[in-house]
Amino acid sequence: MVSELEQLAGSVMVCGFPGVEAPSEIRSWLADDSVAGLILFKRNIDDVQQTAELITSCTATQDPSLPILVCVDQEGGRVARFGDPILKLPAMRKLAEAADPELTTSAGAVLACQLRAIGINLDFAPVLDVDTNPDNPVIGDRAFGSTPQVVIEHALAFADGLHAGGVLSCGKHFPGHGDTDLDSHLALPTLRHDRERLEHVELPPFRAAVGRLPSIMTAHVVFDAFDSAPATISHRVIVELLRNEIGYDGVVFTDDLEMKALSALYPIEESGLLAIEAGCDILLICSDLEAAGKLREALAREADRHQAFRDKLEEARSRADALRQRVTTLPPPMSLENALDHAKVRALWERLGQLE
């Protein structure tokens, strides 16, 4: 039986796993309500029916008033975990170049309708990064544009569409990954711009997200203007800037703690503690269940030793639970058959095909 502190620790974690069937560890954590949610990747997906059955099996024991977060990165372009028959969206930059925010909203809504029918309730989209560096190896055409105005217009439109279709959104990657020259999956980037530049380019989309997007994801990037530590583990970035100055009160996800930008510096059980100390709410561990188990134990131990850390975990759980409860307020899913083939889907396929 899981302890109270282990349950508290797990309630601020979203985990991924290998294969098309949920391992016993995940099923045990789900049964004990000691994990906030799951994230799926291509490795978990054979086809939409299998994925729907996988999600149903994982969520069968959940409290309907506190649904498990079932998450995916389905942006469009090169970042898409599902293929046919899920709506194929172009890269977000291509979508924004149509200069039609209503089309962007429709794209988000139809995609969300399909994802929700499968069982997904949170999409790690839209990208709020501003694409200002042609040598950026990880963002590029994932961004809606090279100016904050274009990014704001289309990112918020896409998020509105996701919500209308029954899926929560998550803006990424705070405070901005658009001008880095390294991929944080592989190394730790540093952005050396001064505060004035960040205020004019990187930060406006995140300011616009206040009150509009229920969650934001951090960047494993050092911003010299704020701190020498990566943003994910920086109290100055998460609490002082995002919470206190910008006024964002939604959920803050870390990017995957397994990415080399952080994991080359700290074991996951240490970076997870640092992220909670910095003010993050949900820790993302995308594939390594052994590391996730060690992290849960480390969080529980720290909460047992230090009341101040336990208080931080309680605050993070409160936000995570509020996000989970928000799922119950979204439009209900339609049948998978209808979601995959109805008039709006066919019309949008045709329209998007003209953008290629």
Which sequence spans correspond to the domains of the chain? 4-350
Is residue 24 within 8 A of residue 293, CB to CB? The reply is no
Q: Give the per-residue pLDDT at 345.
A: 74
Phi, psi of 99 (to 5 degrees): 55, 40
State the pLDDT confidence band at 289, using cuts at 50, 70 and 90.
very high
Q: Tell me the mean pLDDT in the region 162-180.
A: 96
| pLDDT tens per residue, range 85-144 | 998 899 999 999 999 999 999 999 999 999 999 999 999 999 999 999 988 889 999 999
Is residue 126 within 8 A of residue 75, CB to CB? The reply is yes
The mean pLDDT of the chain is 95
pLDDT above 90 covers a percentage of the chain that reads 88
- Per-residue b/e over 138-173, b at no fewer than 16 CB within 10 Å? bbbbbbbbeebebbbbbbbbbbbbbbbbbbbbbbbb
Fold designation for 4-350: TIM Barrel (3.20.20)
| pLDDT tens per residue, range 190-237 | 999 999 999 999 999 999 999 999 999 999 999 999 999 999 999 999
Q: Give the per-residue pLDDT at 135.
A: 87
pLDDT above 70 covers a percentage of the chain that reads 99
> E strand or H helix at 111, and its extent?
helix 101-118
pLDDT of residue 341 exceeding 90: no
pLDDT of residue 342 exceeding 70: no
| pLDDT tens per residue, range 48-66 | 999 999 999 999 989 999 9
Q: Tell me the mean pLDDT in the region 300-313.
A: 98
Round to whole Å and give the CA distance between 261 and 281: 19
Q: Which of 73, 255, 256, 288 is catalytic?
A: 255
Q: Give the per-residue pLDDT at 347.
A: 78
Q: Give the per-residue pLDDT at 338.
A: 87
Q: Give the per-residue pLDDT at 288.
A: 95
Q: Tell me the mean pLDDT in the region 318-338.
A: 95
> E strand or H helix at 251, and its extent?
strand 251-256
Round to whole Å and give the CA distance between 53 and 44: 12
State the pLDDT confidence band at 145, using cuts at 50, 70 and 90.
very high
Our answer to whether residue 255 is catalytic in this structure is yes
Q: Which of 33, 185, 193, 235 is catalytic?
A: 185
Q: Give the per-residue pLDDT at 356.
A: 61
For the record, the structure tokens of 80 come out as 């898409």
